[in-house]
Amino acid sequence: MQSFWHRLRVGAFAALALAIAGAAAALAADDPLPSWNDGAAKASILAFVGKVTTAGSPDFVPAGERIATFDNDGTLWSEQPVYFQIAFAVDRLKVLAAVDPAIAGNETVKAVLSGDRAKLAAVGEKGLLEIVAMTHAGMSVADFEGIVRAWLATARHPRFDRPYNELVYQPMLELLAYLRANGFKTFIVSGGGIDFMRPWAPAAYGTPPEQIVGSSGRTKWQLVGDRPSIMKLPEVDFIDDGPGKPVGIERFIGRRPVFAAGNSDGDLEMLQWTTLDTGPRFALIVHHTDAVREWAYDRDSPVGRLDKALDEAAKRGWLVVDMKNDWKVIYPFEK
Amino acid sequence: MQSFWHRLRVGAFAALALAIAGAAAALAADDPLPSWNDGAAKASILAFVGKVTTAGSPDFVPAGERIATFDNDGTLWSEQPVYFQIAFAVDRLKVLAAVDPAIAGNETVKAVLSGDRAKLAAVGEKGLLEIVAMTHAGMSVADFEGIVRAWLATARHPRFDRPYNELVYQPMLELLAYLRANGFKTFIVSGGGIDFMRPWAPAAYGTPPEQIVGSSGRTKWQLVGDRPSIMKLPEVDFIDDGPGKPVGIERFIGRRPVFAAGNSDGDLEMLQWTTLDTGPRFALIVHHTDAVREWAYDRDSPVGRLDKALDEAAKRGWLVVDMKNDWKVIYPFEK
């Protein structure tokens, strides 16, 4: 028979063990970036947010000035085998061609729907603008929104056989939420179409429509009887890519970000605009290094080429996130 | 000698009277629109905000969707004897002409600085664009911001001998604050220049730079060494007036307002866009009826003409605010 003291000691150890386990669970629950492996990438993000939110710190940034901008394609969701908006346009062309012989007979449309690489290569810029006009204009913004929603509800990504908006990056969702919890105002600043993103990005990323900046076509006010609408015209108005990103940030936001995330050379100027100023600044590049769980590509990729910005990251000390090694999971459905 | 019961009753009445006086004072202190006279205008605003913020009400609007847009010139600050941005441009021309003989010798500049009405009338659209290019382009957005700040710090309104940004309407400041306190997100949507407003409007109205929409010129990214800037080019990009207002709202905000305020025909389409939809909607027109404290003008005014929108207000039941009778004070400095 065990002594009273022995039993008490066992009880105390058991209680201590329970307390330790509880604390560990609580700490894990409090980890704002649970899908990021512990390491330099995660640590540098936590350190930056810590210092700009610590009142009295020389690096303190008032809450209203904590502007964070995120590229979308390849930074918040996947962009392979083609930008998802191109998949949308091709699917839309199929629908239109099925009901309109003029569209079905159009040479550019035939080239695109053939899937033939040589024919596609011959489409050129004029052909591309023709496709954009056919698929992204001639209806109201509200009607286009309905078309995008319907596409997302039915289309499936060829590799993952899931709706395209499920291919968002879980670690980046956590980063967006973590920044917002720390007083940052998060914006999407994408080369993708603003009207293509607004139907789904608010729910996916927790950013309201007015915090989404993107490329756009010209639009026109129309009032028919008592029914007003904003009509999408077949003319490109603004390309929010490369040097267009800081231009779009200045126009829509009107102040410089202190935090920005991108993944390609199209984000280079946004990252420069964010970091080449006084005060604490943070730039992050998502490097696609995971051929198994996602894709691996950088300097030679026609989609999301990352070349100049990768060199610049080394020179400027921007964080290059190694998807394969820094992220525990890629997509929410892996959890 | 009074009985115990009598004294008790007197004490009770006194306590009751004190309680009533206290409640009345508290109610007055709680009046969210103290510079608005009690009457139909104020009551209709309070009733609208009450119903859209009452959970369970058929007219309830979730906080995130309570978008309110405000014109600036003539709605939030005065616009007489000329739009204040024109006063800025004329003052700027004087500065430039004093140091640059080419500008001093320019025929359009001479016409503008002569103050001669006949010469001014001959300037035309081409001349106006020339003036805009001279005064609003050829520098970075940041440098232009400095120029606007310096002007506001020194320029004085000819009638009131005060900085222009003191000529904001106290009742409208209260309305903006009241809407925000009730979960509305307030935006400025002005025909004025976005870069002209952002240096002072955030402090004046409590709206951050990213909630200010306005007219704009084209801009260009520039990187010289490690110094990036956004340069203002001498080309008009977007006119945020008339049918441009709903176009700007759709582009910048991406959803329809439920509340909008304007004062001229330049706001007509914004008020239609706001109200010609299902659900609770509110449109307000500031009618300049006070020739003593401010100015009185409407259908025949070259500045801030209010003609079609006044007819439409009657037809649609929009609130027409009578400055003279609905507002206790016009400017903050009258208090």
- For residue range A187-239, list pLDDT tens digits in order: 999 999 999 999 999 999 999 999 999 999 999 999 999 999 999 999 999 99
Check CB contact under 8 Å for B209 and A251.
Answer: no
Going by their DSSP bridges, the two strands A67-70 and A319-322 should be labelled as: unpaired
Q: Does residue B245 belong to any structural domain of this protein?
A: yes
| CATH assignment at residue A215 | 3.40.50.1000
Cα distances (angstroms) measured from residue B152 to each of A83, B85, B159, B201, B285: 47, 11, 16, 12, 27
Name the least confident of A10-19, A216-225, A324-333, B325-334.
Answer: A10-19
* Any domain includes A136: yes
Q: Helix, strand, coil shares of chain B as percentages rounded to 5? A: 50, 20, 30
> Would you state the pLDDT for residue A120?
77
Based on the fold, state whether residues A75 and A177 are members of the same structural domain.
yes
pLDDT at residue number A229? 98
Q: Answer whether residue A8 shows pLDDT above 50.
A: no
Same domain, yes or no: A207 and A111 = no
The answer on B313 and B194 residing in a single domain is yes
The answer to whether the beta carbons of residues B228 and A260 sit under 8 Å apart is no
Strand segments, DSSP code E, in chain A are: 67-70, 185-193, 212-224, 227-238, 259-262, 282-289, 296-297, 319-322
pLDDT band at B4 (very low <50, low <70, confident <90, very high): very low
Same domain for B60 and B174: yes
| pLDDT tens digits, one per residue of B39-88 | 999 999 999 999 999 999 999 999 989 999 999 999 999 999 999 999 99
Which is more confident, A3 or B70?
B70
- Closest residue to A246, CB basis, from B228, B250, B276: B228
- Where is the domain boundary, B134, B154, B174? B154
The reply to whether A179 and A263 lie within a common domain is yes
Instruction: Say if A185 is an interface residue toward chain B (CB within 8 Å).
Output: yes
Query: Looking at the predicted structure, is the pLDDT value of residue B153 above 50?
Result: yes
| pLDDT-derived band at B2, boundaries 50, 70, 90 | very low
Per-window interface: B 137-166 vs A, CB < 8 A: 141
B138 plus B212 within the same structural domain: no
> Is B100 found in the same domain as B88?
yes
Same domain? B123 vs B212 = no
pLDDT value of residue B335: 85
Residue B15: band (very low, low, confident or very high) from pLDDT cuts 50, 70, 90: low
Write down the pLDDT at residue A15.
Answer: 52
Q: Does B5 fall in a domain? A: no
Note whether B256 contacts A: Cβ–Cβ < 8 A.
Answer: no
Tokens of A80: 């392979």
pLDDT above 90 for A332: yes
Specify the DSSP element, H or E, that contains A7.
helix A4-30
Q: Which of A64, A221, A227 sits opposite B246 (nearest CB)?
A: A221
- Interchain CB distance below 8 Å, B223 and A272: yes
A2 falls in which pLDDT band (50, 70, 90)?
very low
Tens of pLDDT, residue by residue over B219-245, are 999 999 999 999 999 999 999 999 999
Per-residue pLDDT, averaged over A151-166, amounts to 98
Count of CB pairs separated by less than 8 Å, A with B = 86
Task: Evaluate whether residue B28 is within a structural domain.
Answer: no
Separation in Å, CA of A318 to nearest CA in chain B: 15
pLDDT tens for B165-207 read 999 999 999 999 999 999 999 999 999 999 999 999 999 999 9
Boundary of a domain, candidates B129, B154, B179: B154
Location of structure tokens 């306190």: B181
Helix (H, G, I), strand (E, B) or coil at B133: helix
Task: State how far Cα B113 lies from the chain centre.
Answer: 28
The answer to whether residue B275 scores a pLDDT higher than 60 is yes
Same domain for A171 and A307, yes or no, is yes
At B128 the three-state DSSP class reads helix
Looking at the fold, whether A205 and A287 belong to one and the same domain comes out as: yes
- Shortest Cα distance, chain B CAs vs residue A220, angstroms: 7
* A230 interfacial to chain B (CB closer than 8 Å): yes
**Taking CA B317 as the corner, what is the angle to CA B315 and CA B319, rounded to the nearest 5 degrees?**
125
Q: Does B235 touch chain A (CB under 8 A)?
A: no
Which residue, of B154, B177, B193, is where some domain finishes? B154
Look at residue B159 and tell me if it is in a domain. no
DSSP letter, residue B182: T
The pLDDT > 70 percentage for chain B reads 91
For A204, B3, B215, B223, the CA distances from A220, given in Å and listed in that order, are 28, 82, 16, 34
Residue B285 maps to a domain: yes
- pLDDT reported for residue B186: 98
In a domain, B22, yes or no: no
Are B62 and B121 found together in one domain?
Answer: no
pLDDT band at B28 (very low <50, low <70, confident <90, very high): low
Q: How confident is the model at residue A303 (pLDDT cuts 50, 70, 90)?
A: very high
Whether residues A255 and A311 share a domain: the answer is yes
The reported pLDDT for the residue numbered A122 is 79
Q: Quote the CA–CA distance of B285 and B270 in Å, as a whole number.
A: 11
A133 at the B interface (CB within 8 A)? Answer: no
Measure CB to CB from residue A228 to each of B230, B254, B272 and give the nearest one.
B272
| In chain B, residues 191-210 whose CB comes closer than 8 Å to chain A | 194, 198, 208-210
Tell me the per-residue pLDDT of B291-300, one tens digit each, with 9 for 90 and over.
Answer: 999 999 999 9
- What residues make up the domain containing B307? 33-82+165-334
* Percentage of chain B lying above the pLDDT 90 cut: 83
pLDDT at B26 over 70: no
Mutate to test the interface with A, among B197, B210, B226, B239 (most CBs of A within 10 A): B210
* B250 contacts A230? CB cut-off 8 A: yes
Does pLDDT of A300 surpass 60? Answer: yes
The count of domains in chain A is 2
**Contact between A276 and B230 using a beta-carbon 8 Å cutoff:** no
Report which secondary-structure segment, H or E, holds B230. Answer: strand B227-238
Average pLDDT over residues B17-37: 69
Decide if A127 is inside a domain: yes
Q: What is the ipTM of this complex?
A: 0.90
